[in-house]
Amino acid sequence: RVASRWIQETRMSSIRICHPQHRNMHNKIFGGYLMRQAFELAWTNACLFSKTKPRFIALDDTWFRCPVEIGSILEFTSQVMYVGPPETGYFQVSVTAEGIDPVSQERITTNVFHYTFHSSVPVPLVFPKSYADAMRYLHGNRCFSKALQRSQDQSAEHRVHSLMASWRNQ
């Protein structure tokens, strides 16, 4: 029997202040810095969720919705959105970055990242408890299906290239 958890129970977050050393040539925060912060939180969440060191499989949909200003306060929130069939060990983790205005407390989503991980040990299934979590679950399922399809396409393409190479060598 595989254990299960609510999606909201897998949520974790971190706060970052965006310093000038992470700026790009447009005087905004460099996207690579944001990707690194998001990946580190996603991997940490995946590690705690799977209770092992997970293997990173894919970076899926990534949205850069608006530029991040120097001095911004960013909250990165990560959660496990979807778990593939239990025997596969694959699962999806989403990270959302929100800019927080310190005066008005207004939040604006600046970035969204989706990652696929693999665990060598069985992971618990996740289930939505709210409508918002149900939408995340469905999106995680779509990301997982796309990552699986890309993997199969690349595997088929690799087989074709291998066959062509062996044919040329004959």
> DSSP label at 54?
P
- 29-84, pLDDT tens digit by residue? 888 889 999 999 999 999 999 999 999 988 887 888 888 888 889 999 999 999 99
pLDDT tens digits for range 126-142: 999 999 999 999 999 98
* Eight-state DSSP code of residue 46: H
Mapped to the 3 state alphabet, what secondary structure does 115-152 carry? EEEECCCCCCEEECCCHHHHHHHHHHHHHHHHHHHHHH
Beta strand 4-6 with 55-64 is unpaired
Count the residues in the chain.
170
